Chains A and B, each alone.
Chain A
Protein backbone atom coordinates (compact mmCIF):
# COMPACT_ATOMS: atom_id res chain seq x y z
CA UNK A 1 0.00 0.00 0.00
CA UNK A 2 2.71 2.39 1.07
CA UNK A 3 4.64 1.39 -1.99
CA UNK A 4 1.81 2.12 -4.37
CA UNK A 5 1.40 5.57 -2.89
CA UNK A 6 5.08 6.24 -3.31
CA UNK A 7 4.87 5.10 -6.86
CA UNK A 8 1.98 7.37 -7.60
CA UNK A 9 3.79 10.28 -6.08
CA UNK A 10 6.87 9.58 -8.12
CA UNK A 11 4.77 9.19 -11.22
CA UNK A 12 3.10 12.56 -10.83
CA UNK A 13 6.41 14.17 -9.96
CA UNK A 14 7.86 12.99 -13.27
CA UNK A 15 4.83 14.26 -15.12
CA UNK A 16 5.07 17.60 -13.39
CA UNK A 17 8.79 17.90 -13.84
CA UNK A 18 8.41 17.20 -17.53
CA UNK A 19 5.61 19.68 -18.10
CA UNK A 20 6.88 22.34 -15.75
CA UNK A 21 9.73 23.97 -17.63
CA UNK A 22 11.88 26.77 -16.34
CA UNK A 23 9.63 29.78 -16.63
CA UNK A 24 11.34 32.29 -14.41
CA UNK A 25 12.35 35.47 -16.17
CA UNK A 26 15.30 36.68 -14.25
CA UNK A 27 14.96 40.19 -12.85
CA UNK A 28 18.61 40.69 -13.42
CA UNK A 29 18.23 40.17 -17.17
CA UNK A 30 15.28 42.54 -17.26
CA UNK A 31 17.26 45.28 -15.53
CA UNK A 32 20.12 44.80 -18.00
CA UNK A 33 17.83 45.12 -21.00
CA UNK A 34 16.16 48.24 -19.63
CA UNK A 35 19.53 49.82 -18.94
CA UNK A 36 20.71 48.96 -22.45
CA UNK A 37 17.66 50.51 -24.12
CA UNK A 38 17.89 53.61 -21.93
CA UNK A 39 21.56 54.05 -22.87
CA UNK A 40 20.75 53.62 -26.55
CA UNK A 41 18.01 56.25 -26.50
CA UNK A 42 20.28 58.51 -24.45
CA UNK A 43 23.05 58.37 -27.04
CA UNK A 44 20.55 58.88 -29.83
CA UNK A 45 19.17 61.97 -28.10
CA UNK A 46 22.72 63.25 -27.55
CA UNK A 47 23.62 62.87 -31.22
CA UNK A 48 20.37 64.61 -32.12
CA UNK A 49 21.08 67.51 -29.79
CA UNK A 50 24.59 67.89 -31.23
CA UNK A 51 22.85 68.56 -34.58
CA UNK A 52 25.25 66.65 -36.83
CA UNK A 53 22.39 65.67 -39.14
CA UNK A 54 19.43 67.82 -40.06
CA UNK A 55 16.09 67.02 -38.46
CA UNK A 56 14.79 65.25 -41.62
CA UNK A 57 17.71 62.81 -41.61
CA UNK A 58 17.79 62.11 -37.91
CA UNK A 59 14.66 62.89 -35.91
CA UNK A 60 14.68 62.87 -32.13
CA UNK A 61 13.53 59.80 -30.21
CA UNK A 62 10.46 61.80 -29.16
CA UNK A 63 9.57 62.56 -32.79
CA UNK A 64 9.80 58.84 -33.60
CA UNK A 65 7.64 58.12 -30.57
CA UNK A 66 5.02 60.56 -31.89
CA UNK A 67 5.21 58.91 -35.27
CA UNK A 68 4.51 55.61 -33.56
CA UNK A 69 1.47 57.14 -31.91
CA UNK A 70 0.29 58.42 -35.30
CA UNK A 71 0.75 55.01 -36.86
CA UNK A 72 -1.17 53.50 -33.97
CA UNK A 73 -3.97 56.05 -34.14
CA UNK A 74 -4.86 55.54 -37.78
CA UNK A 75 -4.34 51.78 -37.40
CA UNK A 76 -1.68 51.77 -40.12
CA UNK A 77 0.70 49.91 -37.87
CA UNK A 78 -1.81 47.19 -37.10
CA UNK A 79 -2.88 46.61 -40.67
CA UNK A 80 0.78 46.66 -41.73
CA UNK A 81 1.86 44.19 -39.11
CA UNK A 82 -1.19 42.08 -39.83
CA UNK A 83 -0.54 42.00 -43.55
CA UNK A 84 3.15 41.29 -43.15
CA UNK A 85 2.50 38.52 -40.63
CA UNK A 86 -0.16 37.07 -42.90
CA UNK A 87 2.32 36.84 -45.76
CA UNK A 88 4.94 35.43 -43.43
CA UNK A 89 2.68 32.71 -42.07
CA UNK A 90 1.45 31.68 -45.52
CA UNK A 91 4.85 31.81 -47.22
CA UNK A 92 6.75 30.25 -44.36
CA UNK A 93 4.07 27.61 -43.88
CA UNK A 94 4.17 26.59 -47.54
CA UNK A 95 7.94 26.59 -47.31
CA UNK A 96 7.94 24.16 -44.38
CA UNK A 97 5.37 21.90 -46.01
CA UNK A 98 7.26 21.76 -49.32
CA UNK A 99 10.64 21.51 -47.61
CA UNK A 100 9.77 18.61 -45.33
CA UNK A 101 7.95 16.74 -48.09
CA UNK A 102 10.83 17.27 -50.48
CA UNK A 103 13.30 16.13 -47.82
CA UNK A 104 11.33 12.91 -47.34
CA UNK A 105 11.14 12.28 -51.09
CA UNK A 106 14.89 12.78 -51.30
CA UNK A 107 15.43 10.15 -48.61
CA UNK A 108 13.11 7.76 -50.41
CA UNK A 109 14.94 8.17 -53.72
CA UNK A 110 18.65 8.35 -52.88
CA UNK A 111 19.83 9.13 -56.41
CA UNK A 112 17.56 12.12 -56.68
CA UNK A 113 18.32 13.05 -53.07
CA UNK A 114 22.03 13.34 -53.66
CA UNK A 115 21.67 15.56 -56.72
CA UNK A 116 18.93 17.64 -55.17
CA UNK A 117 20.85 18.23 -51.96
CA UNK A 118 23.83 19.80 -53.71
CA UNK A 119 21.43 21.84 -55.83
CA UNK A 120 19.57 22.97 -52.70
CA UNK A 121 22.83 23.79 -50.97
CA UNK A 122 23.71 26.17 -53.79
CA UNK A 123 20.31 27.82 -53.78
CA UNK A 124 20.26 28.16 -50.01
CA UNK A 125 22.93 30.85 -50.12
CA UNK A 126 21.37 32.55 -53.14
CA UNK A 127 20.57 36.16 -52.07
CA UNK A 128 16.84 36.53 -51.55
CA UNK A 129 16.45 39.91 -53.27
CA UNK A 130 17.99 38.40 -56.38
CA UNK A 131 14.73 36.47 -56.78
CA UNK A 132 12.72 39.70 -56.98
CA UNK A 133 13.10 40.61 -60.69
CA UNK A 134 12.39 37.00 -61.60
CA UNK A 135 9.28 36.98 -59.41
CA UNK A 136 8.02 40.28 -60.84
CA UNK A 137 8.42 39.11 -64.43
CA UNK A 138 7.03 35.64 -63.75
CA UNK A 139 4.17 36.48 -61.43
CA UNK A 140 3.80 40.22 -61.26
CA UNK A 141 3.81 43.05 -58.75
CA UNK A 142 1.45 41.37 -56.31
CA UNK A 143 1.15 39.28 -53.16
CA UNK A 144 1.85 36.05 -54.99
CA UNK A 145 5.13 37.52 -56.19
CA UNK A 146 6.11 38.36 -52.62
CA UNK A 147 5.16 34.87 -51.45
CA UNK A 148 7.23 33.39 -54.24
CA UNK A 149 10.32 35.26 -53.06
CA UNK A 150 9.68 34.23 -49.44
CA UNK A 151 9.28 30.57 -50.35
CA UNK A 152 12.28 30.42 -52.64
CA UNK A 153 14.46 32.05 -50.00
CA UNK A 154 13.52 29.75 -47.18
CA UNK A 155 12.51 26.39 -48.61
CA UNK A 156 16.03 25.15 -49.25
CA UNK A 157 17.06 25.37 -45.61
CA UNK A 158 14.13 23.18 -44.66
CA UNK A 159 14.92 20.72 -47.46
CA UNK A 160 18.58 20.43 -46.53
CA UNK A 161 18.05 19.98 -42.81
CA UNK A 162 15.16 17.56 -43.19
CA UNK A 163 17.21 15.48 -45.60
CA UNK A 164 20.42 15.51 -43.57
CA UNK A 165 18.47 15.07 -40.35
CA UNK A 166 16.96 11.83 -41.58
CA UNK A 167 20.23 10.69 -43.13
CA UNK A 168 21.97 11.13 -39.80
CA UNK A 169 19.48 9.17 -37.71
CA UNK A 170 21.42 6.54 -35.77
CA UNK A 171 20.94 3.34 -37.81
CA UNK A 172 20.32 1.53 -34.54
CA UNK A 173 16.95 3.30 -34.12
CA UNK A 174 15.85 2.19 -37.55
CA UNK A 175 17.06 -1.37 -36.99
CA UNK A 176 15.27 -1.60 -33.66
CA UNK A 177 12.07 -0.14 -35.13
CA UNK A 178 12.11 -2.51 -38.09
CA UNK A 179 12.63 -5.39 -35.71
CA UNK A 180 9.54 -4.30 -33.81
CA UNK A 181 7.50 -4.38 -36.98
CA UNK A 182 7.74 -0.79 -38.25
CA UNK A 183 8.05 -0.33 -41.99
CA UNK A 184 7.06 2.05 -44.75
CA UNK A 185 4.83 4.86 -43.54
CA UNK A 186 4.85 3.84 -39.89
CA UNK A 187 8.65 3.81 -39.92
CA UNK A 188 8.63 7.35 -41.33
CA UNK A 189 5.95 8.62 -39.03
CA UNK A 190 6.94 7.06 -35.74
CA UNK A 191 10.72 6.86 -36.07
CA UNK A 192 12.34 8.83 -38.87
CA UNK A 193 10.47 12.10 -38.42
CA UNK A 194 10.66 12.23 -34.62
CA UNK A 195 14.30 11.18 -34.68
CA UNK A 196 15.07 13.94 -37.17
CA UNK A 197 12.97 16.57 -35.40
CA UNK A 198 15.85 18.40 -33.69
CA UNK A 199 17.56 18.79 -37.04
CA UNK A 200 14.35 19.74 -38.86
CA UNK A 201 13.78 22.38 -36.22
CA UNK A 202 17.21 23.89 -36.89
CA UNK A 203 16.22 24.02 -40.56
CA UNK A 204 12.94 25.73 -39.74
CA UNK A 205 14.64 28.27 -37.54
CA UNK A 206 17.14 29.08 -40.25
CA UNK A 207 14.35 29.19 -42.83
CA UNK A 208 12.41 31.62 -40.68
CA UNK A 209 15.32 34.01 -40.67
CA UNK A 210 15.71 33.76 -44.46
CA UNK A 211 11.97 34.14 -44.94
CA UNK A 212 11.85 37.22 -42.77
CA UNK A 213 14.73 38.90 -44.64
CA UNK A 214 13.14 38.04 -47.96
CA UNK A 215 9.68 39.21 -46.95
CA UNK A 216 10.66 42.72 -45.93
CA UNK A 217 12.95 43.03 -48.96
CA UNK A 218 10.20 41.90 -51.29
CA UNK A 219 7.65 44.20 -49.67
CA UNK A 220 9.90 47.15 -50.38
CA UNK A 221 10.84 46.12 -53.90
CA UNK A 222 7.54 44.67 -55.06
CA UNK A 223 5.68 47.81 -54.01
CA UNK A 224 3.03 46.13 -51.94
CA UNK A 225 -0.02 48.14 -50.97
CA UNK A 226 0.18 47.34 -47.27
CA UNK A 227 2.90 46.03 -45.01
CA UNK A 228 5.86 46.97 -42.84
CA UNK A 229 8.07 47.06 -45.92
CA UNK A 230 5.57 49.43 -47.52
CA UNK A 231 5.86 51.86 -44.61
CA UNK A 232 9.60 51.91 -45.24
CA UNK A 233 9.05 52.53 -48.93
CA UNK A 234 6.60 55.39 -48.36
CA UNK A 235 8.83 56.81 -45.65
CA UNK A 236 11.77 56.90 -48.03
CA UNK A 237 9.78 58.47 -50.86
CA UNK A 238 8.29 61.21 -48.70
CA UNK A 239 11.42 61.65 -46.58
CA UNK A 240 9.57 60.61 -43.39
CA UNK A 241 12.55 59.41 -41.42
CA UNK A 242 10.56 59.16 -38.18
CA UNK A 243 8.18 56.75 -39.87
CA UNK A 244 11.08 54.76 -41.33
CA UNK A 245 12.67 54.37 -37.91
CA UNK A 246 9.34 53.47 -36.31
CA UNK A 247 8.85 50.74 -38.88
CA UNK A 248 12.41 49.50 -38.42
CA UNK A 249 11.87 49.25 -34.68
CA UNK A 250 8.69 47.25 -35.28
CA UNK A 251 10.51 44.89 -37.65
CA UNK A 252 13.28 44.48 -35.10
CA UNK A 253 10.79 43.75 -32.32
CA UNK A 254 8.94 41.13 -34.35
CA UNK A 255 12.19 39.43 -35.30
CA UNK A 256 13.28 39.38 -31.67
CA UNK A 257 9.93 38.02 -30.58
CA UNK A 258 10.07 35.14 -33.02
CA UNK A 259 13.69 34.31 -32.35
CA UNK A 260 13.78 34.75 -28.60
CA UNK A 261 10.33 33.64 -27.64
CA UNK A 262 8.95 31.23 -30.23
CA UNK A 263 11.99 29.42 -31.59
CA UNK A 264 14.12 29.47 -28.46
CA UNK A 265 11.30 27.99 -26.43
CA UNK A 266 10.53 25.43 -29.08
CA UNK A 267 14.16 24.45 -29.37
CA UNK A 268 14.58 24.29 -25.63
CA UNK A 269 11.60 21.98 -25.31
CA UNK A 270 12.75 19.69 -28.07
CA UNK A 271 16.30 19.56 -26.76
CA UNK A 272 15.06 18.77 -23.30
CA UNK A 273 12.66 16.10 -24.44
CA UNK A 274 15.21 14.48 -26.76
CA UNK A 275 17.72 14.61 -23.92
CA UNK A 276 20.21 16.56 -26.01
CA UNK A 277 21.23 19.06 -23.35
CA UNK A 278 22.14 16.32 -20.97
CA UNK A 279 24.57 14.71 -23.37
CA UNK A 280 26.46 17.99 -23.50
CA UNK A 281 26.56 18.32 -19.74
CA UNK A 282 28.18 14.94 -19.37
Chain B
Protein backbone atom coordinates (compact mmCIF):
# COMPACT_ATOMS: atom_id res chain seq x y z
CA UNK B 1 0.00 0.00 0.00
CA UNK B 2 2.58 2.46 1.12
CA UNK B 3 4.73 1.81 -1.93
CA UNK B 4 1.84 2.80 -4.14
CA UNK B 5 1.45 5.98 -2.20
CA UNK B 6 5.11 6.66 -2.53
CA UNK B 7 5.02 6.22 -6.27
CA UNK B 8 2.12 8.63 -6.51
CA UNK B 9 4.08 11.07 -4.44
CA UNK B 10 6.99 10.78 -6.78
CA UNK B 11 4.65 11.22 -9.66
CA UNK B 12 3.46 14.52 -8.30
CA UNK B 13 7.01 15.60 -7.83
CA UNK B 14 7.59 14.73 -11.44
CA UNK B 15 4.88 17.04 -12.71
CA UNK B 16 6.22 19.84 -10.61
CA UNK B 17 9.72 19.27 -11.79
CA UNK B 18 8.78 19.25 -15.45
CA UNK B 19 7.12 22.60 -15.19
CA UNK B 20 10.01 23.80 -13.12
CA UNK B 21 12.64 22.84 -15.63
CA UNK B 22 10.51 23.99 -18.51
CA UNK B 23 10.58 27.54 -17.22
CA UNK B 24 14.08 27.91 -15.89
CA UNK B 25 16.39 25.36 -17.37
CA UNK B 26 19.36 27.63 -16.99
CA UNK B 27 18.90 28.16 -13.31
CA UNK B 28 19.06 24.45 -12.56
CA UNK B 29 22.00 24.06 -14.90
CA UNK B 30 23.91 26.63 -12.96
CA UNK B 31 23.27 24.91 -9.67
CA UNK B 32 25.96 22.32 -10.55
CA UNK B 33 24.55 19.66 -8.30
CA UNK B 34 26.43 16.40 -8.66
CA UNK B 35 24.05 13.80 -9.96
CA UNK B 36 26.38 10.85 -10.50
CA UNK B 37 29.54 10.05 -8.61
CA UNK B 38 31.48 6.93 -9.50
CA UNK B 39 34.26 6.12 -7.07
CA UNK B 40 36.92 3.51 -7.80
CA UNK B 41 34.68 1.33 -9.90
CA UNK B 42 36.42 -1.91 -10.82
CA UNK B 43 35.01 -4.80 -12.72
CA UNK B 44 36.56 -8.05 -13.85
CA UNK B 45 35.01 -10.98 -15.62
CA UNK B 46 36.20 -14.30 -14.34
CA UNK B 47 37.00 -17.02 -16.78
CA UNK B 48 34.81 -19.39 -14.80
CA UNK B 49 32.58 -17.65 -12.41
CA UNK B 50 29.86 -20.25 -12.38
CA UNK B 51 32.01 -23.35 -12.49
CA UNK B 52 33.93 -23.42 -9.25
CA UNK B 53 35.18 -26.95 -9.67
CA UNK B 54 37.08 -26.32 -12.84
CA UNK B 55 38.65 -23.18 -11.40
CA UNK B 56 39.99 -25.35 -8.63
CA UNK B 57 41.42 -27.66 -11.22
CA UNK B 58 43.18 -24.74 -12.85
CA UNK B 59 44.61 -23.64 -9.56
CA UNK B 60 46.01 -27.01 -8.65
CA UNK B 61 47.48 -27.52 -12.10
CA UNK B 62 49.42 -24.30 -12.07
CA UNK B 63 51.25 -25.27 -8.91
CA UNK B 64 52.19 -22.99 -6.06
CA UNK B 65 51.26 -19.54 -7.34
CA UNK B 66 47.54 -18.99 -7.77
CA UNK B 67 46.65 -18.11 -11.30
CA UNK B 68 43.29 -16.56 -11.93
CA UNK B 69 41.88 -16.21 -15.36
CA UNK B 70 40.35 -12.82 -15.17
CA UNK B 71 39.62 -10.07 -17.57
CA UNK B 72 39.79 -6.63 -16.02
CA UNK B 73 37.31 -4.46 -17.85
CA UNK B 74 37.18 -1.47 -15.53
CA UNK B 75 40.01 -0.60 -13.20
CA UNK B 76 39.43 2.07 -10.57
CA UNK B 77 37.26 4.27 -12.69
CA UNK B 78 36.24 7.63 -11.26
CA UNK B 79 33.68 9.91 -12.80
CA UNK B 80 31.51 12.81 -11.70
CA UNK B 81 28.53 14.08 -13.63
CA UNK B 82 26.52 17.14 -12.72
CA UNK B 83 22.76 17.38 -12.97
CA UNK B 84 21.52 18.01 -16.47
CA UNK B 85 24.87 17.26 -18.01
CA UNK B 86 25.01 15.42 -21.31
CA UNK B 87 28.03 13.14 -21.14
CA UNK B 88 29.11 10.95 -24.02
CA UNK B 89 31.40 7.97 -23.72
CA UNK B 90 33.47 6.68 -26.62
CA UNK B 91 35.88 3.82 -26.91
CA UNK B 92 36.67 0.85 -29.09
CA UNK B 93 34.46 -2.20 -29.10
CA UNK B 94 34.88 -4.30 -26.00
CA UNK B 95 36.37 -1.57 -23.83
CA UNK B 96 33.61 -1.88 -21.26
CA UNK B 97 31.14 0.85 -22.18
CA UNK B 98 28.10 -1.38 -21.92
CA UNK B 99 29.52 -2.91 -18.77
CA UNK B 100 29.76 0.52 -17.20
CA UNK B 101 26.18 1.38 -18.12
CA UNK B 102 24.89 -1.94 -16.82
CA UNK B 103 26.69 -1.36 -13.54
CA UNK B 104 25.17 2.09 -13.28
CA UNK B 105 21.72 0.75 -14.11
CA UNK B 106 22.03 -1.83 -11.36
CA UNK B 107 21.67 -4.69 -13.84
CA UNK B 108 25.27 -5.77 -13.31
CA UNK B 109 25.93 -6.08 -9.59
CA UNK B 110 29.34 -7.73 -9.41
CA UNK B 111 31.74 -4.82 -9.19
CA UNK B 112 33.73 -3.06 -6.53
CA UNK B 113 33.55 0.62 -5.78
CA UNK B 114 30.92 3.10 -4.85
CA UNK B 115 28.16 4.77 -6.81
CA UNK B 116 26.29 7.82 -5.59
CA UNK B 117 23.19 8.99 -7.40
CA UNK B 118 21.87 12.38 -6.41
CA UNK B 119 23.95 12.25 -3.27
CA UNK B 120 22.75 8.85 -2.10
CA UNK B 121 24.62 5.59 -2.30
CA UNK B 122 22.70 3.15 -4.49
CA UNK B 123 21.55 -0.36 -3.82
CA UNK B 124 22.87 -3.03 -6.11
CA UNK B 125 19.62 -3.54 -7.95
CA UNK B 126 17.83 -1.84 -10.83
CA UNK B 127 15.85 1.25 -10.02
CA UNK B 128 13.61 3.43 -12.09
CA UNK B 129 15.68 6.51 -11.31
CA UNK B 130 18.19 5.20 -13.86
CA UNK B 131 16.74 3.92 -17.09
CA UNK B 132 18.83 2.31 -19.77
CA UNK B 133 18.04 2.53 -23.47
CA UNK B 134 19.56 -0.30 -25.47
CA UNK B 135 20.92 -0.30 -28.97
CA UNK B 136 18.25 -2.75 -30.07
CA UNK B 137 15.50 -0.82 -28.31
CA UNK B 138 14.31 -3.88 -26.41
CA UNK B 139 10.70 -2.89 -26.98
CA UNK B 140 8.13 -5.56 -26.24
CA UNK B 141 6.69 -6.83 -29.53
CA UNK B 142 3.45 -8.05 -27.96
CA UNK B 143 2.52 -4.53 -26.94
CA UNK B 144 1.52 -1.53 -29.02
CA UNK B 145 3.54 1.67 -28.97
CA UNK B 146 1.18 3.10 -26.37
CA UNK B 147 1.35 0.01 -24.19
CA UNK B 148 5.12 -0.12 -24.44
CA UNK B 149 5.43 3.44 -23.21
CA UNK B 150 2.89 2.72 -20.49
CA UNK B 151 4.77 -0.35 -19.24
CA UNK B 152 6.80 1.12 -16.40
CA UNK B 153 3.83 3.12 -15.12
CA UNK B 154 1.67 0.02 -15.07
CA UNK B 155 4.32 -1.82 -13.08
CA UNK B 156 4.39 1.14 -10.66
CA UNK B 157 0.60 0.69 -10.26
CA UNK B 158 -0.23 4.22 -11.30
CA UNK B 159 -3.90 4.83 -12.01
CA UNK B 160 -5.16 4.44 -15.55
CA UNK B 161 -6.15 8.07 -16.06
CA UNK B 162 -2.84 9.29 -14.74
CA UNK B 163 -1.02 6.81 -16.97
CA UNK B 164 -2.91 8.02 -19.98
CA UNK B 165 -2.03 11.61 -19.24
CA UNK B 166 1.67 10.88 -18.84
CA UNK B 167 1.88 8.57 -21.85
CA UNK B 168 0.13 11.08 -24.10
CA UNK B 169 2.54 13.77 -22.99
CA UNK B 170 5.64 11.78 -23.85
CA UNK B 171 4.27 10.13 -26.96
CA UNK B 172 3.70 13.67 -28.18
CA UNK B 173 7.19 14.69 -27.13
CA UNK B 174 8.71 12.02 -29.39
CA UNK B 175 6.13 12.84 -32.08
CA UNK B 176 4.57 9.42 -32.34
CA UNK B 177 0.98 10.23 -31.41
CA UNK B 178 -0.32 8.90 -34.69
CA UNK B 179 1.44 5.61 -34.10
CA UNK B 180 0.05 5.01 -30.64
CA UNK B 181 -1.79 1.87 -31.70
CA UNK B 182 0.83 0.50 -34.04
CA UNK B 183 2.78 -2.59 -33.13
CA UNK B 184 6.52 -2.48 -32.74
CA UNK B 185 7.19 -4.39 -35.94
CA UNK B 186 5.23 -1.79 -37.87
CA UNK B 187 7.75 0.91 -36.96
CA UNK B 188 11.01 1.99 -38.53
CA UNK B 189 14.24 1.70 -36.58
CA UNK B 190 14.27 5.39 -35.73
CA UNK B 191 10.68 5.29 -34.48
CA UNK B 192 11.51 2.31 -32.30
CA UNK B 193 14.27 4.24 -30.61
CA UNK B 194 11.94 7.17 -30.05
CA UNK B 195 9.49 4.80 -28.39
CA UNK B 196 12.33 3.51 -26.23
CA UNK B 197 13.18 7.08 -25.23
CA UNK B 198 9.56 7.86 -24.38
CA UNK B 199 9.27 4.60 -22.46
CA UNK B 200 12.25 5.64 -20.38
CA UNK B 201 11.09 9.22 -19.85
CA UNK B 202 7.63 8.35 -18.50
CA UNK B 203 9.31 6.99 -15.41
CA UNK B 204 10.93 10.35 -14.84
CA UNK B 205 14.39 8.91 -14.26
CA UNK B 206 17.11 11.10 -12.86
CA UNK B 207 19.50 9.70 -15.40
CA UNK B 208 19.09 8.39 -18.91
CA UNK B 209 21.62 5.74 -19.80
CA UNK B 210 21.84 5.30 -23.54
CA UNK B 211 23.84 2.40 -24.94
CA UNK B 212 24.60 3.11 -28.59
CA UNK B 213 20.93 3.90 -29.17
CA UNK B 214 21.38 5.13 -32.72
CA UNK B 215 24.10 2.78 -33.91
CA UNK B 216 21.81 0.72 -36.09
CA UNK B 217 20.29 3.69 -37.90
CA UNK B 218 21.17 5.40 -41.14
CA UNK B 219 22.79 8.82 -41.17
CA UNK B 220 19.65 10.81 -42.01
CA UNK B 221 17.58 9.19 -39.28
CA UNK B 222 20.40 9.60 -36.83
CA UNK B 223 20.67 13.32 -37.50
CA UNK B 224 16.97 13.72 -36.99
CA UNK B 225 17.20 11.87 -33.69
CA UNK B 226 20.16 14.01 -32.59
CA UNK B 227 17.92 17.02 -32.96
CA UNK B 228 15.08 15.40 -31.08
CA UNK B 229 17.31 14.14 -28.30
CA UNK B 230 18.91 17.54 -27.84
CA UNK B 231 15.46 19.13 -27.72
CA UNK B 232 14.28 16.57 -25.18
CA UNK B 233 17.39 17.19 -23.14
CA UNK B 234 16.72 20.89 -23.22
CA UNK B 235 13.08 20.45 -22.22
CA UNK B 236 13.55 17.90 -19.47
CA UNK B 237 17.08 18.76 -18.34
CA UNK B 238 17.81 15.09 -17.77
CA UNK B 239 21.28 13.94 -16.94
CA UNK B 240 22.30 11.80 -19.90
CA UNK B 241 25.08 9.27 -20.20
CA UNK B 242 25.34 8.41 -23.86
CA UNK B 243 27.58 5.60 -25.09
CA UNK B 244 28.66 5.46 -28.68
CA UNK B 245 31.55 4.27 -30.79
CA UNK B 246 30.98 7.11 -33.19
CA UNK B 247 33.42 9.82 -32.16
CA UNK B 248 31.77 12.52 -34.18
CA UNK B 249 28.43 11.71 -32.58
CA UNK B 250 29.99 11.91 -29.14
CA UNK B 251 31.43 15.34 -29.80
CA UNK B 252 28.36 16.70 -31.55
CA UNK B 253 26.02 15.70 -28.73
CA UNK B 254 27.88 15.92 -25.47
CA UNK B 255 28.77 18.65 -23.05
CA UNK B 256 31.69 16.39 -22.32
CA UNK B 257 33.14 13.44 -24.23
CA UNK B 258 34.95 10.75 -22.30
CA UNK B 259 37.32 8.29 -23.91
CA UNK B 260 37.58 4.86 -22.37
CA UNK B 261 40.60 2.78 -23.23
CA UNK B 262 40.73 -0.99 -22.87
CA UNK B 263 44.44 -0.71 -22.25
CA UNK B 264 44.06 1.07 -18.96
CA UNK B 265 40.57 -0.27 -18.34
CA UNK B 266 39.37 3.19 -17.51
CA UNK B 267 39.04 6.78 -18.60
CA UNK B 268 41.87 7.84 -20.81
CA UNK B 269 40.98 11.41 -21.45
CA UNK B 270 38.02 13.71 -21.53
CA UNK B 271 37.11 16.66 -23.67
CA UNK B 272 34.82 19.50 -22.77
CA UNK B 273 32.71 20.66 -25.67
CA UNK B 274 31.70 24.18 -24.83
CA UNK B 275 29.35 24.90 -27.67
CA UNK B 276 25.81 26.21 -27.45
CA UNK B 277 23.00 24.10 -28.86
CA UNK B 278 21.63 23.61 -31.45
CA UNK B 279 24.99 22.79 -32.91
CA UNK B 280 26.18 22.70 -36.46
CA UNK B 281 27.50 19.17 -37.02
CA UNK B 282 30.41 20.50 -39.09
CA UNK B 283 31.31 23.31 -36.72
CA UNK B 284 35.11 23.77 -36.74
CA UNK B 285 35.36 23.15 -33.00
CA UNK B 286 33.48 19.87 -33.32
CA UNK B 287 35.76 18.84 -36.14
CA UNK B 288 38.91 19.71 -34.30
CA UNK B 289 37.85 17.88 -31.13
CA UNK B 290 36.78 14.89 -33.19
CA UNK B 291 40.18 14.80 -34.84
CA UNK B 292 41.93 15.15 -31.51
CA UNK B 293 40.01 12.17 -30.15
CA UNK B 294 40.73 10.12 -33.25
CA UNK B 295 44.42 10.93 -32.85
CA UNK B 296 44.17 9.98 -29.19
CA UNK B 297 42.43 6.69 -29.90
CA UNK B 298 44.69 5.50 -32.70
CA UNK B 299 47.05 3.59 -30.46
CA UNK B 300 44.18 1.83 -28.75
CA UNK B 301 43.54 -0.07 -31.93
CA UNK B 302 47.14 -0.78 -32.84
CA UNK B 303 48.84 -1.77 -29.59
CA UNK B 304 48.94 -5.33 -28.27
CA UNK B 305 46.53 -4.31 -25.57
CA UNK B 306 43.83 -5.27 -27.99
CA UNK B 307 44.87 -8.86 -27.60
CA UNK B 308 44.87 -8.80 -23.84
CA UNK B 309 41.59 -7.01 -23.67
CA UNK B 310 40.00 -9.55 -25.97
CA UNK B 311 41.41 -12.69 -24.48
CA UNK B 312 42.00 -11.64 -20.92
CA UNK B 313 45.03 -11.07 -18.78
CA UNK B 314 46.62 -13.99 -17.07
CA UNK B 315 47.42 -12.21 -13.88
CA UNK B 316 49.38 -13.90 -11.15
CA UNK B 317 49.33 -12.56 -7.61
CA UNK B 318 52.33 -10.38 -8.32
CA UNK B 319 50.65 -9.19 -11.52
CA UNK B 320 53.76 -8.58 -13.60
CA UNK B 321 51.78 -8.34 -16.81
CA UNK B 322 49.44 -5.77 -15.43
CA UNK B 323 52.18 -3.52 -14.19
CA UNK B 324 53.64 -3.33 -17.64
CA UNK B 325 50.34 -1.94 -18.77
CA UNK B 326 49.61 0.32 -15.87
CA UNK B 327 48.20 3.76 -16.60
CA UNK B 328 51.44 5.46 -15.58
CA UNK B 329 53.58 3.61 -18.07
CA UNK B 330 51.00 4.32 -20.74
CA UNK B 331 50.98 7.99 -20.24
CA UNK B 332 54.73 8.20 -20.00
Contact = CB atoms under 8 A, between A and B. Distances in A.
Contact of B132 (A179, A190, A194, A278): A179
A182 B132 CA distance: 14
Contacts of A179: 105-107, 126, 128, 130-132
B303 interface: no
Given A180-B128, A181-B155, A175 B138 contact: yes
Contacts of B46: none
Contact of A182 (B141, B143, B155, B184): B155
Interface in B124-154: 126-128, 130-132, 134, 136, 138, 140-144, 151-152, 154
A278 B134 CA distance: 22
A7 B151 contact: no
Interface in B45-76: none
Contact of A178 (B107, B142, B186): B107
Query: Sorted from nearest, which 7 A-B pairs have the closest CB atoms?
Result: A275-B185, A180-B152, A10-B178, A176-B138, A7-B178, A194-B142, A14-B181
Contacts of A173: 138, 140
B134 A172 contact: yes
B126 A11 contact: no
B184 A275 contact: yes
Given A179-B131, A181-B156, A275-B184, 19 more contacts: A7-B177, A14-B178, A18-B144, A18-B181, A170-B138, A172-B136, A173-B140, A175-B107, A175-B134, A176-B134, A177-B151, A178-B126, A179-B132, A180-B128, A180-B131, A180-B152, A180-B203, A191-B140, A194-B140
Contacts of B185: 275, 278-279
Interface string B168-211: 00000000011111111110000000000001000100000000
A180 B178 contact: no
Interface in B66-88: none
| Most chain B Cβ neighbours within 10 Å, of A11, A170, A278 | A11
A23 interface: no
B186 A181 contact: no
6 contacts: A170-B138, A180-B151, A181-B155, A190-B154, A194-B143, A273-B142
Contacts, number: 85
Contacts of A175: 107, 132, 134, 138
A207 to B, nearest CB: 22
Contact of B180 (A11, A177, A278, A279): A11
Contact of A180 (B134, B143, B155, B183): B155
A195 B128 contact: no
B307 to A, nearest CB: 28
A225 B193 CA distance: 61
A7 B176 CA distance: 9
Q: Is the interface of A mostly helix, strand, loop or mixed?
A: helix
A274 B184 CA distance: 8
A33 to B, nearest CB: 33
Contacts of A28: none
Given A11-B180, A14-B182, A273-B183, A181 B140 contact: no
Contacts of B130: 179
Interface residues of B, number: 34
Contact of B138 (A14, A172, A275, A278): A172
A24 interface: no
A28 B132 CA distance: 52
Contact of A14 (B155, B156, B186): B186
A176 B180 CA distance: 20
A22 interface: no
A91 to B, nearest CB: 29
Contacts of A18: 144, 181-183
Interface string A61-89: 00000000000000000000000000000
B281 to A, nearest CB: 28
A195 B186 CA distance: 18
Interface in A145-201: 170, 172-173, 175-182, 186, 190-191, 194-195, 197
A15 B183 CA distance: 10
A278 B183 CA distance: 12
Interface string A268-282: 000001110011000
B179 A14 contact: yes
Contact of A195 (B140, B151, B154, B184): B140
Interface in A1-38: 6-7, 10-11, 14-15, 18
